Amino acid sequence: MSSVEQLVGARIRAAGVCDPYVPEPRRQLGRQLFIAGLNDIKVLRPAPSDPFDVPELGDTKLMTPAEISRL
3-state secondary structure at position 38: helix
Residues 44, 70: contact at Cβ < 8 Å? no
Residues 19, 34: contact at Cβ < 8 Å? yes
pLDDT of residue 6: 81
pLDDT of residue 41: 92
pLDDT of residue 53: 75
Query: Where are the chain's structural domains?
Result: 1-48
- How big is the chain by its Cα radius of gyration, in Å? 15
Which residues does residue 21 pair with via DSSP β-bridges, in sequence order?
Answer: 30
pLDDT of residue 70: 75
pLDDT of residue 57: 65
Walk along the chain (71 residues) and give the pLDDT tens digit of each residue. Answer: 467 788 888 889 999 999 988 888 878 788 889 999 889 999 999 888 887 776 676 665 677 777 777 76
